[in-house]
């Protein structure tokens, strides 16, 4: 199991370059003087070879050792080689062996390709004891930070690689492709918004949504959805701990240049006008794709349905977080100011254009009277009017 944690193995010791397990050696030959012992530390076992025993045969050169290990102990020279304790490669030939000595079996250097932000970079002659952190350094040195997108992690087959572990501990084969970040496109069809987001294969849905909201400076609305390949994923939580049993983007099939669809439901806001007759802010349900002018029309429709005062759409402004909201702008653009559910938007009226509704006390006609108008019914001429339902009289204003 390449992904098993080696520190959990019996007999594991923490050494420079990661965890290794000290295995009890297999003894070859009749034990004799220690100066005749040739020790070989293989991947799956250790050998103590007593070269003084005639049954071992000739074991004087590197070729003899390669022959013994290949024939009797499964050494594959296509994938592994012999080195000394200093890491020097012992070529298969007539090089004389030093006895006593310890030799190591390690993987051959391999080529690794790093795919990051649409670009591929080849790293050659990577030794098996190279840590993932060192790979990242080599990549940055070779590319000279040519990417706008930083590379902090690597993954293989959708799983994040621990930066402190070695190439060999993961069993990475020659020519392996390791993934950095890659772009996907998140589409909001109602807002007509296409956004490129950079993700890692081991990110989950929530991490992708968080990156998307940060990129677009939008806020999260309860009930938002992300759709990919016909499957719908909830976006209500900002927690990155995992969704759908801990499945990653790689697990659900998201790859470079994949396209996902984001949608958010309607949400409640309140419009507050301190100069109007209403006692409480007016509650409206709006959506991210609505423009400000649509919200103003919804507000006016509500006023008219409640038989409130008359006002034209160009006679007031909407103010949120100290910023004037422009008619053509979409509500999602105010996510940067944290416009969210239950936010309060202020209505700023132009005082001279406000017309309040009153009822004539004599004939009952509904009148629209501005603050600068003379109070007089244009039907019967009566100068006494009152607010509908309240019976509260408006003081008379005599025309000069």
Structure tokens at 224: 């938002």
User: Residue 96 gets which letter from DSSP?
Assistant: B
SS3 274: coil
Strands (E), 189-297: 193-199, 225-228, 231-234, 259-263, 267-272, 282-286
Q: What is the pLDDT of residue 279?
A: 66
- Both 150 and 205 in a single domain? no
What CATH number is given to the structural domain containing 117?
3.10.20.90
Helix or strand (DSSP H, E) at 110: strand 110-116
Burial category of 127 from C-beta neighbours within 10 Å (exposed 0-12, middle 13-18, buried 19 and up): middle
Q: Does 338 map to a domain?
A: yes
Task: Give me the domain span that covers residue 58.
Answer: 6-107
**C-alpha separations of 328 from 130, 289, 292 in Å:** 56, 11, 6
Among 107, 122, 139, the domain boundary falls at: 107
Q: Does 103 map to a domain?
A: yes
Q: Does 25 map to a domain?
A: yes
Q: What is the pLDDT of residue 385?
A: 74
Structure tokens at 24: 């009890």
- Mean pLDDT for each 10-residue chunk of the chain (400 residues)? 42 48 81 88 89 86 92 88 87 88 89 95 92 95 77 95 93 94 97 96 94 94 93 76 68 96 96 75 95 96 78 90 95 95 91 68 76 73 69 47
What CATH number is given to the structural domain containing 380?
2.20.28.30
- Both 12 and 100 in a single domain? yes
- Both 65 and 136 in a single domain? no
Q: Does 173 map to a domain?
A: yes
- Both 94 and 155 in a single domain? no
Q: Does 1 map to a domain?
A: no
- Both 63 and 144 in a single domain? no
Place of tokens 């397990």: 21
- Both 282 and 337 in a single domain? yes
- Both 98 and 132 in a single domain? no
Rounded to a whole number, what is the largest CA-CA distance in the chain? 133
Q: What is the pLDDT of residue 20?
A: 53
Q: Does 261 map to a domain?
A: no
Count of domains for the chain: 5
- Both 225 and 242 in a single domain? yes
- Both 278 and 370 in a single domain? no
Q: What is the pLDDT of residue 377?
A: 82
Q: What is the pLDDT of residue 335?
A: 94
Return d(Cα 337, Cα 335) in angstroms, integer. Answer: 5
- Both 125 and 144 in a single domain? yes
- Both 346 and 359 in a single domain? no
Q: Which residues pair with 12 in a beta bridge?
A: 21
């Amino acid at each position: 199991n390449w992904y098993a944690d080696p520190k959990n193995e019996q007999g594991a010791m923490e050494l420079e370059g990661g965890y290794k397990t000290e295995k009890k050696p297999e003894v070859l030959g009749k034990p004799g003087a220690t100066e005749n012992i040739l020790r070989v530390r293989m991947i799956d076992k250790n050998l103590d070879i007593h070269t003084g025993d005639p049954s071992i045969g000739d074991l004087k050169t590197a070729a003899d050792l390669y022959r013994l290990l290949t024939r009797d102990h499964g050494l594959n020279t296509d994938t592994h080689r012999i080195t000394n304790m200093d890491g020097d490669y012992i070529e298969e030939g007539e090089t004389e062996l030093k006895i006593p000595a310890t030799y190591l079996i390690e993987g051959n250097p391999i080529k690794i390709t790093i795919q990051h932000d649409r670009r591929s970079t080849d790293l050659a002659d990577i030794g098996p004891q190279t840590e993932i952190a060192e790979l990242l350094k080599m990549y940055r040195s070779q590319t000279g930070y040519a990417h706008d997108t930083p590379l902090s992690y690597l993954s293989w087959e959708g799983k994040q690689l621990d930066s402190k572990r070695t190439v060999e501990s993961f069993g990475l084969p020659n020519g392996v492709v390791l993934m950095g970040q890659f772009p996907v496109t998140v589409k909001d069809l109602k807002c007509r918004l296409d956004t490129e987001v950079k993700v890692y294969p081991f990110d989950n849905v929530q991490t992708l949504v968080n990156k998307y909201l940060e990129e677009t400076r939008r806020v999260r609305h309860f009930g938002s959805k992300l759709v990919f390949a016909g499957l719908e994923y909830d976006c209500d939580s900002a927690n990155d701990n995992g969704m759908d049993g801990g499945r990653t983007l790689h697990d659900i099939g998201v790859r470079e240049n994949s396209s996902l669809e984001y949608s958010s439901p309607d949400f409640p806001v309140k419009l507050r006008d301190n100069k109007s007759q209403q006692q409480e802010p007016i509650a409206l349900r709006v959506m991210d794709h609505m423009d400000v002018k649509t919200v103003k029309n919804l507000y006016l429709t509500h006023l008219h349905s409640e038989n409130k005062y008359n006002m034209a759409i160009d006679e007031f402004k909407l103010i949120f977080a100290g910023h004037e909201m422009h008619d053509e702008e979409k509500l999602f653009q105010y996510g940067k100011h944290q416009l969210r559910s239950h936010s309060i938007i202020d209505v700023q009226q132009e005082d001279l254009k406000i017309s309040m509704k009153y009822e004539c006390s004599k004939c009952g006609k509904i009148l629209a009277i501005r603050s600068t108008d003379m109070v007089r019914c244009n039907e019967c001429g009566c100068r006494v009017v009152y607010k509908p339902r309240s019976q509260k009289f408006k003081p008379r204003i005599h025309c000069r």
